[in-house]
Chain A
Amino acid sequence: MDDKIRSLRMEHITKRFPGVLASDDITIEVGEGEVLALVGENGAGKTTLMNILMGIYQQDEGRILINGEEVRFRGPEDAFNAGLGMVHQEYMLVPNMTVTENVALGYKKAWKKGILDLNMVRSRIMEISEKYGLAVNPDAYIWQLSVGEQQKVELVKTLSLGARFLILDEPTSALTPQETDELIVLLKKMTDELSIIFISHKLQEVKALSNKVTILRHGKVVFNGNTDDYSPSEIASKMTGHEVKLPENNDEASHGDVVLEIKDLCVRGDRGNYALDGLDLSVRSGEIVGLAGVSGNGQKELAEAINGLRKIEKGEIALFGCEIGNKKPRSVIEQGMGYIPEERNIEGIVPPFAIRENLILKDVDQKPFSNKSFLKKEKVNENAERLQIEFDIRSAGINTQSGSLSGGNIQKLILARELSRGAKFITAVYPTRGLDLGAVEFIHKELLKKRKEGVGILLISEELDEIINLSDRIAVIYKGRIQKVLEKKDATRARLGILMAGVKEDE
């Protein structure tokens, strides 16, 4: 086993999937102690390339060189033995096993004649966790851990198995901003000993962490360079192929009527505690109210209560003067509600359904898509063709399974359905989480367009930039109550940060 990986090079890698050229003659190179950021939009082929590097997929053409010598990985085990370790975007942890057991799965030294030596694994975990400052409880079950904690377990696991070269696939996509900052600091420390390939489309992170950047588009390398020589907006435009400027809401605040009025709302969370505890909030027509807060402070429960998906214990929710608390989702929808849910693959679409079917989910029994319970195929198809173009949903066609689309395109599909059916109010929950810049830009523009049309929008997000850019007013939620509502002009990142942490302002 080689001690150091001084250089790693993937040369002329080509990989075809049925109907798709996922990697097209890609060459990348990483030297000792370097951090390479692999950047590109969803579906550009970043993950495929890394799966090839880890031996999970086999390339059709091209070769991999470590320290100048060609290597062939028939499976992930060969890649481990060469010192590579990957943290996948979807965590590769078995939920009903403990942290120790998950590490033991790859730690063959502890498989003594078939009997597991879990104590040996545990001490290995403690050693790594101390060395890198990654606090994990080796006896916790994975299902008990938060996403941030699972991320740490993934890192500990990969390092415990002896990785000297880390591959991180969108490591921050599911983390809160605080967790993200912590992770970046941690990874920076690690670069003393390790080389890293880091997949991301969050450009601040790319700037903060990497020395070199390689940009992929449609399976091809379109750019290579030193990170320091380019600004985030230059990288963004190389990534999307056009100039990207996230739109901002600079218009006069709306003086429309109050359309959503929430008073003294109390709702229980999944664990029976009060997730919302006397929350008051109002949104006017033609106004975007941003709800800022650290996730887990009642955002999810609020969105569900407004949309008839969670029982309310006390309080009122009035939409256009009509009480919608504890009403069925159907009647909330009929009242003019549009909903962009947090879990786009679970609540937003039926993944095995075709695009054209998901686009009419809320109108299956309405004209023109249905006539006396019979679906009107031409109308459904027409609608899908039109929305696909209008909302730039990229796919092989309207009969494509929705679940096979990239996150950005799924979100555009949901947006297309919700916005095209004439909703008068929109609840948007983390609408751009995990999306690439091009998709974010598109979604922001569409939301602002709806605002101009007089639609009231409640925007729940963790991204402060998103909230500050789009909102007219910003409400900060903390432990199930609104801490404070700020006008756009008064909202700064610092001030919001303090409010989100639960500190009351003395005025």
Chain B
Amino acid sequence: MDLVVNVLSMCIPFSVALLLASLGEMFNQRAGIFNLGCEGVMAMGAFSGMLVPFLVGHGGAVPMVYNALGFLLAGVIGALLGLLFGLVVITFRAPQGIAGIGMQMFGVGVAGTLFRYFVGGTQSVPGVPSFPIPVLSKIPVLGKIFFSHNIVVYLAFLFVLLSNFILFKTSWGLRVRAVGTHPRAADSMGINVTLTRYESLLVGGALAGIAGAYLSLCQAKMFSDELISGRGFIAVALVYFGHWNPYKIMLGALLFSLAQTFQSVVQGLGISFPYEFAVMLPYILVIVVLAFSSRDQKSAPASLGKPFNREIRT
């Protein structure tokens, strides 16, 4: 029983970085932009997030506000990278898959280089402490699983609700969905396709940056070159898994994290089993689930990956 509670309570904070990055990618893709560079943006976010508290406290304790500033910086850097990506794929209409690979290498490379320049070696930061919610966290079992995490975890899950609201109940969400599916129709209705796509990249980039900062400030409490380790790519896969829907994406992020925590706990138990296989498990899960998930493409943004040019018919 303890083991189950442990796995579940670990899996929730573990899913947050994936969740935020996937939601960001969802906004990109809903607007028709396929951003494979999520990994790179997360790396930049992770580095810039820990930079602020590190420079202020030199590894020692810092007031919470500097952590918040770290998140803010990560979000801003992420948003700027989103705009850079927009410049490449929207304005210059470069192929999005290739540009995404470039963005991934750029982000990971630059983050690693700056890290060596500003920080040097492995240095931990105090990070964001956990904040058990009064009363609720005292509930047996459920309290530990749901209400004993750091504040960012709660906010991230609230953001799932907000994303759904933004996507389906606001005029911005309507614009985003329209330009990702039928940009010509949106254009004929007086919607600025280019602007809407840039906006979605701004939001998506900021979320990926914050997701990265979550890893360095809340999860690992440090930065290293391997910190992101493919989470950006998993985030892209989860968007497909979740059919561009915030709730289903949340489900996917939780499922993946569950497999991830499960394998690490199993390793900890010392069962003799080649750990390489255990580590593979979550990734195999993603592949299998994607292979068998429904091919219902009705909600899919049909113009995903296609540049728009009003005066050229395709």
Contact = CB atoms under 8 A, between A and B. Distances in A.
**Is B one of A's binding partners?**
yes
Interface of A: 17, 54, 56-57, 75-77, 80, 86, 88, 90-97, 101-102, 104-106, 111, 114-116, 141, 143, 404
Contacts of B293: none
A141 B296 CA distance: 15
Interface residues of B, number: 26
A104 B188 contact: no
A95 B302 contact: yes
Please name the 4 residue pairs, one residue from A and one from B, whose CB atoms are nearest each other, closest first: A77-B190, A92-B185, A111-B171, A106-B189
A141 B300 CA distance: 14
B174 interface: yes
A105 B175 contact: yes
A115 B311 CA distance: 32
Nearest to A352: B314
A94 B176 CA distance: 11
15 contacts: A56-B187, A77-B190, A86-B188, A91-B185, A92-B188, A92-B189, A94-B186, A96-B177, A96-B298, A96-B299, A97-B181, A104-B174, A105-B189, A116-B169, A116-B170
Given A57-B311, A77-B190, A86-B188, A96 B300 contact: yes
Given A94-B178, A94-B182, A114 B189 contact: no
Interface string B248-289: 000000000000000000000000000000000000000000
A350 to B, nearest CB: 15
B191 interface: yes
A92 B171 contact: no
Interface string B189-211: 11100000000000000000000
A165 B52 CA distance: 59
Contacts of B300: 96
A114 B185 contact: no
B247 to A, nearest CB: 17
B221 interface: no
A96 B189 contact: no
Nearest to B175: A105
A404 B174 CA distance: 31
Contact of A105 (B178, B299, B311): B178
B171 A95 contact: no
Interface in B292-312: 298-302, 310-311
A94 B181 contact: yes
B172 interface: yes
A90 B188 CA distance: 12
B184 interface: yes
A72 to B, nearest CB: 15
Contacts of B191: 105
Given A90-B184, A105-B175, A105-B191, 8 more contacts: A57-B311, A86-B188, A92-B182, A92-B185, A94-B186, A97-B181, A101-B177, A114-B172
B175 A56 contact: no
A93 B188 contact: no
A94 B177 contact: yes
Contacts of A143: 298
Interface of B: 169-172, 174-175, 177-178, 181-182, 184-191, 298-302, 310-311, 313
Contacts of A80: 190
Given A93-B185, A143-B298, A106 B171 contact: no
Nearest to B244: A96
Given A96-B299, A116-B174, A56 B181 contact: no
A93 B189 CA distance: 10
B177 A56 contact: no
A183 B178 CA distance: 27
Which of A75, A97, A105, A404 has the most C-beta atoms of chain B within 10 angstroms of its own C-beta?
A105
Contacts of A96: 177, 181, 298-302
Nearest to B172: A114
B306 to A, nearest CB: 14
Given A96-B181, A97-B181, A105 B174 contact: yes
Nearest to A118: B169
B171 A97 contact: no
A407 to B, nearest CB: 13
Contacts of A95: 181-182, 298, 302
B242 to A, nearest CB: 15
Given A94-B177, A96-B298, A105-B178, A116 B185 contact: no
Given A75-B190, A143-B298, A93 B182 contact: yes
A115 B298 contact: no
A94 B311 contact: no
Contacts of A104: 171, 174
Nearest to A103: B189
Contacts of A114: 170-172
A91 B181 CA distance: 13
A56 B298 contact: no
B176 to A, nearest CB: 11
A102 B182 CA distance: 11
Contacts of B313: 404
Nearest to A105: B189
Nearest to A76: B190
Contact of B189 (A17, A76, A111, A404): A76
Contacts of B311: 17, 57
A76 B186 CA distance: 10
B190 A115 contact: no
Contact of B188 (A76, A101, A404): A76
A431 to B, nearest CB: 24
A163 to B, nearest CB: 12
Nearest to A87: B188
A115 B171 contact: yes
Contacts of A56: 187-188, 310
A97 B177 CA distance: 8
Nearest to A78: B190
B135 to A, nearest CB: 33
A475 to B, nearest CB: 36
A115 B172 CA distance: 8
Nearest to B310: A56
Nearest to A17: B311
Contacts of B172: 114
Contacts of B299: 96
Nearest to B192: A75
A115 B188 CA distance: 22
Nearest to B171: A111
Contacts of A101: 174, 177
Name the residue among B181, B189, B301, B302 with the largest chain A CB count within 10 angstroms.
B189
A165 to B, nearest CB: 16
A17 B309 CA distance: 14
A92 B186 CA distance: 8
B310 A105 contact: no
A402 B300 CA distance: 28
A113 to B, nearest CB: 9
A404 B314 CA distance: 8
B29 to A, nearest CB: 13
